[in-house]
Amino acid sequence: MSDLVHLANPKDAGAIAGLLHDLHREFNEPTPPPSELAERIRLLIDSGETLVLLADDGPGGLAVLRFRPTIWSAGLECYLAELYVVPQLRGHGLGRALMEAALAEARKQGADSMEIGVDEPDVVARRLYESLGFSNREGGPAGPLMYFYELEL
Amino acid sequence: MSDLVHLANPKDAGAIAGLLHDLHREFNEPTPPPSELAERIRLLIDSGETLVLLADDGPGGLAVLRFRPTIWSAGLECYLAELYVVPQLRGHGLGRALMEAALAEARKQGADSMEIGVDEPDVVARRLYESLGFSNREGGPAGPLMYFYELEL
């Protein structure tokens, strides 16, 4: 893992919650108070279902990975739930360092695949993911586009 | 729940594995033998992480739902991992009956949202999902398209 990035432990839950809170405020999405997020993050990290990578000592960014058993193999599938770098540290490769560490950690945990939902206009993120080999086309560059559908219940 | 659809229990693992095996063979995707799938399905249903809905007595179709805690709320998020109706029973509303039961069951389990990855050319499935309120646009009909990215590790 890069010197810039380290794997979070439950004691980092407060710092993680602060970053997640800032993330949703930046994108005008609803967020519970940081204390509530911190408690949930602590439980998820404790359970082993969620791993968080932190960049820089601030911390200045994070990647949140969630794991579950695959149906089609004996491995795990990994979902990149969040990737965030604080505004003042963008453009210095922290996002790439987080993603490279995330891929290494997912492989180490036994994941067969990593999946991400990405909005079409998020071209900076999409270019980063594509440069690492991610594709929104099924089975190769000539394959069909894959959409992410969602319904609030 | 519709008379056509019922919630599977671990004893149905063999029938579920048979349908999943047929699904991947129909779409020329690799699949482990049904006995291996059955054992995995049994463990996932036992753990409560996965729910399977079966349609018709054959069974003639299934929906596979996976749950995990949401980071942003106290609820669960639900992922529709598979939806399948055997070829000879298509066009009779089994897919819709499965989806309606899936939505009811996800709400009952405490899910805030349901998510699906769908290929662009799967227009029959996309029309079904859209008729139930699913959208591949973030935050409303005028919002940005959401892509599903994937990387094999």
Q: Which residue of A has its CA nearest to B147?
A: A147
User: For residue B127, what are the contacts with CB-CB under 8 A and spacing of at least 6?
Assistant: none
Question: Parallel, antiparallel, or unpaired for β B5-7 and B76-85?
Answer: unpaired
Q: In Å, what is the CA distance from A49 to each residue of A46, A69, B37, B54, B59?
A: 8, 10, 22, 28, 32
Distance between CA atoms of residues B6 and B16, nearest Å? 12
> Structurally, how many domains does chain B consist of?
1
Does residue A101 sit within a domain? yes
Lowest mean pLDDT among A104-108, A140-144, B71-75, B98-102: A140-144
State residue A2's pLDDT score: 65
Question: Which of A25, A47, A72 has the highest number of chain B CBs within 10 A, making it the mutation to test binding with B?
Answer: A72
- Name every residue whose Cβ is closer than 8 Å to that of residue A21 and which is 6 or more positions away in sequence: A31, A33, A34, A37
C-beta atoms of A153 and B116 within 8 A: no
Average pLDDT over residues B103-108: 98
Q: Do B117 and A66 touch (CB under 8 A)?
A: no
Q: In Å, how far from its chain's centre is CA A84?
A: 8
**Other Cβ atoms closer than 10 A to A78:** 27
What is the predicted pLDDT for the residue at A149? 98
pLDDT of A57:
80
State pLDDT tens for residues A43-98: 999 999 999 999 988 899 999 999 999 999 999 999 999 999 999 999 999 999 99
Inter-chain Cβ pairs, chain A and chain B, closer than 8 A: 169
Chain A contact present for B41, CB below 8 A: yes
B106 within a domain of the structure (yes/no): yes
How far apart, in whole angstroms, are the C-alpha atoms of residue B19 and residue B146? 29
In a domain, B98, yes or no: yes
Whether B70 and B42 have beta carbons less than 8 Å apart is answered as no
Q: Render pLDDT for B123-139 as a digit per residue (tens, 0 to 9).
A: 999 999 999 999 999 98
- Arithmetic mean of pLDDT over chain B: 95
**Average pLDDT estimate for B146-153:** 97
DSSP assignments along chain A, one per residue: --TTEEE--GGGHHHHHHHHHHHHHHTT-----HHHHHHHHHHHHHHTSEEEEEETTTT-EEEEEEEEE-SSSSSEEEEEEEEEE-GGGTTSSHHHHHHHHHHHHHHHHTEEEEEEEEETT-HHHHHHHHHTT-BSBTTSTTSPBEEEEEEE-
What percent of chain A shows pLDDT beyond 90?
91
The rounded radius of gyration (Å) of the Cα atoms in chain A is: 16
ipTM of this complex > 0.90? yes
**What does the pLDDT read at residue B36?**
95
Nearest CB among A31, A49, A148 relative to B117 is that of A148
Question: Is the Cβ pair A117, B149 closer than 8 Å?
Answer: yes
Q: What is the mean pLDDT of residues B65-70?
A: 98
Looking at residue B1, its pLDDT comes to: 60
Residues 105-144 of B with CB under 8 A from A: 106-107, 111-121, 126, 129, 132-136, 138, 144
Q: Is residue A30 part of a domain?
A: yes
**pLDDT band for position B16 (50/70/90)?**
very high
B49 interaction partners in chain A (CB closer than 8 Å)? 68-69
DSSP B75: S
Is B127 strand, coil or helix?
helix
Residue B42 has pLDDT above 70, yes or no: yes
Interface membership of B30 toward A (CB under 8 Å): yes
Contact A20 B81 (CB under 8 A): no
Is residue B153 situated within a structural domain?
no
List, for residues A13-47, the tens digit of each pLDDT value.
Answer: 999 999 999 999 998 888 999 999 999 999 999 99
The burial of A55, by beta-carbon neighbours within 10 Å (0-12 exposed, 13-18 middle, 19 or more buried), is given as buried
Greater confidence (A8 vs A141) lies with A8
Window A:65-84, CB contacts with B under 8 Å: 66, 68-69, 71-74, 78, 81-82
CATH code for position A87: 3.40.630.30
Find the domain containing B16 and state its range: 5-115
Contact B136 A147 (CB under 8 A): yes
Q: What does the pLDDT look like over A104-134, one tens digit per residue?
A: 999 999 999 999 999 999 999 999 999 999 9
pLDDT for res B39: 96
The reply to whether A40 falls in a domain is: yes
Mean pLDDT of B81-107: 96
Q: Using 50, 70 and 90 to split pLDDT, how confident is the model at B149?
A: very high
Structure confidence at residue B8 (pLDDT) = 96
Check: CB of residue A52 under 8 Å from CB of residue B93.
no
Q: Is residue B121 a part of any domain in this protein?
A: no
Within a domain: A124? no
Looking at residue B3, what is its pLDDT? Answer: 78
